[in-house]
Amino acid sequence: MPSMNDAAPLTPAGYADAVAAAVRAAAAYYTDGATPLGDDEYDALLRAVAAYEREHPDEVLPDSPTGKVAGGAVGGDVPHSVPMLSLDNVFSAEELVDWAAGLERRLGRPVAAWCVEPKLDGLAVAARYRAGRLHRLVTRGDGLAGEDISHAADAVLGLPAVLAEPVDVELRGEVLLTREQFEHANEVRTAHGAVPFANPRNGAAGTLRAKDRPYRVELTFFGYGAVGLGEDLAHSALLERLAALGANTAAATAAAPLRCAGLEEAQQRIEEIAALRSGLPFGIDGVVVKADSPQDREDAGSGSRAPRWAVARKLAAEHKVTRLLDVEWNVGRTGIIAPRAVLEPVVIDGVTVTYATLHNPADITRRGLMIGDRVFVYRAGDVIPRVEAPLVEERTGDERPVVFPEVCPRCGDAIDREEQRWRCVRGRNCQVVASIGYAAGRDQLDIEGLGGTRAVQLVEAGLVADLADLFSLTREQLLGLERMGDTSTDNLLAAIETARSRPLNRVFCALGVRGTGRTMSRRMAAHFGSMAAIRAADAETLAAVDGIGPEKARVIVAELAELAPLLDRLAARGVGTAVTAPQAPVAAAPVAAAPVAAAGGGEEEGGEEEGTSAGGPLTGEAVVVTGSMTGELAALSRNEMNELVERAGGKASSSVSKRTTLLVAGEKAGSKRAKAEELGIRILSPDEFAVLVAGHLPRG
């Protein structure tokens, strides 16, 4: 499918095929969510159809999706009192400017203000209340009539059975599966022998229409409009009114609707919501811009398909459809055997994706994947792409089962299958070279001269079986290795000796404990102050550390028990024995709470502020570092820069937002500097920052 911006013009036959394909996709998308097209492909199809019809207005087919609500999807038998319209789309900042200019020409005056809110990726519904009690829940259907889905209302969180006031009103909004609800729904479905949902929208559509299921799947409602209430209110004020009645809105999330005085401010809010996208607990496929004033809305009016006073600024799709070509089995440094999907290359959000995570063997079984399947692939921001589910209805019979390994793919030893994530029975010993290489890395022990080739030499020579063995190496042993002369031997021994006194967070990170990384290692070191205190902590104590929940705490306790002999040997060699006073936790910058918790994810470099210590010249500062550092900071890695920020009392973050108070902008700072300038954030050069934190710079 060509991209939405470079599609070739359609021929008459191609136009007819495109209309038929769009109608089929819309019917699937708006009924059970099982469309074979990703959002970008569907949008491109509609734009190609519309372009053909502009050039050939006398050839428009009667079933064309253009000008129709929900692309002409199937309606229902419950008429809407007021049509439930779709939204027109724009795909760039320039198109939004053109759309806004057209609206202002129609009004004959500037728009008074805009309201900007996330475009939720769910199903539009109308909830009718009589005297404040929920009477009926109806889908949008074709915009004129929808389907009665009242039977599902009690499973929709955020949609109260009784409002705070006894009013007659129809609330309008979106019902969706949050990321957490989606994962739980698929666990429940597969436990009952059902096929997992392909994506959250597919799951929401199927769940709302399902009856007499032997299990319950919860969804979430977000209100964004009403009929019979507040027609004379600004849209931003209406959202506040909905919340006061007890309905859930996006106001409680980080992507809360915002009233913007002008289009430039609205564009800025769009960028902010787009940047938050991957961290939101629910999916969005765009950002909606609406005229806030009731007078502007009334004067602009509506067309047959969409209001003229609102538009959706679409974002690049996070879901795409491609083919699963193979499954590879890789062994990580802790012995975890991880499946990886090999995909037919597909571009998602500007990135060509050829591999995606499959989590674990149980996940493959739960999703019912087969080699050759057409599959939905999901990617949000910098998150590793993952395969969500197969398009079972598109199978041809040529698909074949995924073959699971009988023994460890690396060493041929047995596999421990007790947990969902399979592991070689040799654990870390299966990947000693990888473990040593990771531990010696710059952001861990920083042992210069101990690269991959040297690690292989040491392991194959029988000199190193684990991390502790590094600190027992002798000059004679190293000189006996190929290509190890006096100078390289002395340099490596000196680097190992320096590594012996690395701070606690670096030593802990070098262990490669599952569920932790650089950020979590810093938090744990600051929280406990010594390796002995970390080892003595039980799961409940560990769970008190910011970012460690009960489940991760249990994993860490088990890992530390497994590592106990290694830790004893490291301590005997004076590694990781430094003791500092535990630091009191510092409150993080306020973040708007979401109505439900987000699904779990990696803790590394995700854009949220990291743990910090109190005091220092950066106390109270939220700091972002971007670009190449120069001067005294040139030798510091990004992780070392984050450590420096925290030593000086600040909070390190990877993305610029309104909460950012300081940007350290090196060479080629790029978009982060531009955004900081727009937000009026203080910007320092590397040299200026080095002067500010001079007392906290690393020695040597």
Residue 584: pLDDT band (50, 70, 90) is low
pLDDT at 36 over 70: no
Mean pLDDT to the nearest integer, 328-344: 91
For residue range 357-366, list pLDDT tens digits in order: 888 898 898 8
Q: Dump strand ranges (E) for 478-568.
A: none
Rounded-to-integer distance, Cα 291 and Cα 115, Å: 6
- Greatest mean pLDDT range, 104-108, 226-230, 508-512: 104-108
Split at pLDDT 50, 70, 90, the class of 588 is very low
279 HSE (CA, 13 A, CB side):
22
Where are the chain's structural domains?
12-66, 78-314, 319-423, 427-500, 603-700
- pLDDT (tens digit per residue) in 671-689: 788 888 878 899 999 999 9
Q: Where are the beta strands (DSSP E) in 52-105?
A: 78-79, 88-90
119 included as an active-site residue: yes
Angle at 535 between CA 534 and CA 539, to 5 degrees: 80
For residue 313, what pLDDT is reported? 95
Instruction: Note whether 665 and 676 are within 8 A (CB).
Output: yes
The CATH fold assigned to 12-66 is Helix Hairpins (1.10.287)
- Do 484 and 469 contact (CB within 8 A), yes or no? no
**According to the model, what pLDDT value does residue 268 have?**
93
Identify the pLDDT of residue 577.
85
What pLDDT is recorded for position 586? 42
Q: Which of 40-44, 454-458, 562-566 has the lowest mean pLDDT?
A: 40-44
CA distance 367 to 626: 40
Residue 89 has pLDDT above 50, yes or no: yes
Strongest mean pLDDT among 41-45, 197-201, 415-419: 415-419
Q: Are 255 and 273 in contact (CB under 8 A)?
A: yes
Q: Which CATH number fits domain 427-500: 1.50.10.20, 1.10.287.540, 1.10.150.20, 2.40.160.10?
A: 1.10.150.20
What contacts 41, CB < 8 A, 6 or more positions away? 1, 320, 321
Catalytic residue among 119, 552, 672, 675: 119
- The half-sphere exposure of 255 on its side-chain side, counting CA atoms within 13 A, is 28
The whole-angstrom separation of Cα 191 and Cα 60 is: 48
Residue type, 387: V
pLDDT of residue 245: 96
Encode pLDDT of 507-533 as tens digits. Answer: 999 998 987 888 788 888 888 999 999
Q: Cα(658)–Cα(678) distance, rounded to whole angstroms?
A: 10
The pLDDT of residue 593: 34
CATH among 3.30.70.20, 1.10.150.130, 2.60.120.10, 2.40.50.140 for 319-423: 2.40.50.140
CA 458 – CA 442 distance, rounded (Å): 19
Confidence at residue 694, expressed as pLDDT on a 0 to 100 scale? 86
Q: What tokens does 697 get?
A: 């710079």
The answer for residues whose C-beta is within 8 angstroms of residue 665's C-beta and 6 or more apart is 626, 627, 672, 673, 676, 683, 684, 685
What Cα–Cα distance (Å) separates residue 657 from each residue in 29, 373, 639, 660, 688? Answer: 34, 40, 20, 5, 22
Note the pLDDT of residue 8: 66
Distances (CA, A) of 71 to 57, 62, 311: 18, 12, 16
> 471 pLDDT band (50/70/90 cuts)?
very high
Fold topology of 78-314: D-amino Acid Aminotransferase; Chain A, domain 1 (3.30.470)
Task: Specify the pLDDT at position 7.
Answer: 52
**Residue predicted with more confidence, 506 or 212:** 506
Region label for 359, one of left (φ > 0), alpha (ψ between -120 and 50) or beta (otherwise)? left
Residues above pLDDT 90, as percent of the chain:
44
- State how far the Cα of 55 lies from the Cα of 38, in Å rounded to an integer: 26
SS3 of residue 128 by DSSP: strand
Q: 20 phi and psi, to 5 degrees?
A: -60, -45
- Extract the tokens encoding 119: 């475009």
In angstroms, the CA 124 to CA 9 distance is: 32
Q: What is the DSSP letter of 393?
A: G
Query: What is the fold, at CATH topology level, of the domain defined by 603-700?
Result: Rossmann fold (3.40.50)
User: How far is it, in rounded angstroms, from Cα 180 to Cα 258?
Assistant: 26
- C-alpha 413/C-alpha 424 separation (Å) is 7
pLDDT band at 648 (very low <50, low <70, confident <90, very high): confident
**Average pLDDT score over residue span 19-29:** 73
Topology agreement, domain 12-66 and domain 603-700: no
- Pairing mode, strands 258-260 and 284-291: unpaired
Q: How many angstroms separate the most distant Cα atoms in the chain?
A: 89
Q: Could you tell me the pLDDT band of residue 613, with boundaries at 50, 70 and 90?
A: very low
CB 260 within 8 A of CB 266: yes
**Choice among 380-389, 426-435, 528-537 with the minimum mean pLDDT:** 380-389
Specify the pLDDT at position 605: 34
At 30, the pLDDT band (50, 70, 90 cuts) reads: low
Looking at the whole model, is its pTM more than 0.85?
no
Sign for the pseudo-dihedral over CA of 553, 559, 564, 569: negative
- Helix 179-191 to helix 200-209 angle (10° resolution) is 60
Distance in angstroms (rounded) separating the CA atoms of residues 475 and 305: 79
Residue 537 confidence (pLDDT) above 90? yes
* Whole-number percent of the chain with pLDDT over 70: 89
Predicted local confidence at residue 40, as pLDDT: 62
Average pLDDT, the chain: 85
**Residue 2: what pLDDT?**
38
